Amino acid sequence: MKIGELSERTGLTPSRIRFYERIGLLKTVQRQPNGYRTYPAEAMLVLDLVATAQKAGFSLDEIGMLLPPDPTQWQHGKLLETLRLKVQDIEALEARLALSKMHLVSLIAEIEAKPAEIDCTTNAKRVLSRMRRGEMASPVLASGDVKALGKANRR
C-alpha cells in the first residue's frame, strides 16, 4: 500500500510515517522505480505498536529496542521483561512524585502557618531553619531559595 492509504488506516500523517521510517522504526518499506514508497500490511501493525507504546510512556529509542527486526518474529520473554521493567520505572516515578508532592504540601503548610507578627522574609528564614533541622518533611533548600519563599509568602 502507498503512504496515503497507510496514513488513512493508521491515523498518522504521512510525515510522521516517513519520520518513523527515517529513525528506523519502520523497516519494511520498499521503493518503486518512480521513488514512491510501498508498505506491506505489517507496517500497520508496527505503526500501531509504536503509537500504543508511546501512549504507555515508552520513548522512541525504547520502542526501537523493543521492536523485533522482523515484525513476525516477536520474542515473548524479551517483550514481557521489557514491559515489566517499564512498569517498575513508572512505579519509581510515582514514588518520586508522591514524595515531591508530600514535600510541597508540607512546605505550603509551613508557609501558611506564618505567625501574624512576623514579615515574609523572617517567615522564609523560619521555614528554612525548620527544614534544615529536619522538623518538616521537606528537602533542604539552598540559601538562595529564601527569596523564592518570601515571594510565596506574599501570595
Measure Cα distances from 14 to 2, 20, 37, 67 in Å.
10, 10, 11, 21
Predicted pLDDT of residue 132: 85
CA-wise closest residue to 66 among 83, 51, 89, 52: 83
pLDDT tier for residue 41 given thresholds of 50, 70 and 90: confident
- Grid coordinates in use for 132? 534544615
| Mean per-residue pLDDT, 75-81 | 86
pLDDT (tens digit, 9 = 90+) per residue, 83-114? 899 999 999 999 999 999 998 998 899 889 89
- pLDDT surpasses 50 at 149: no
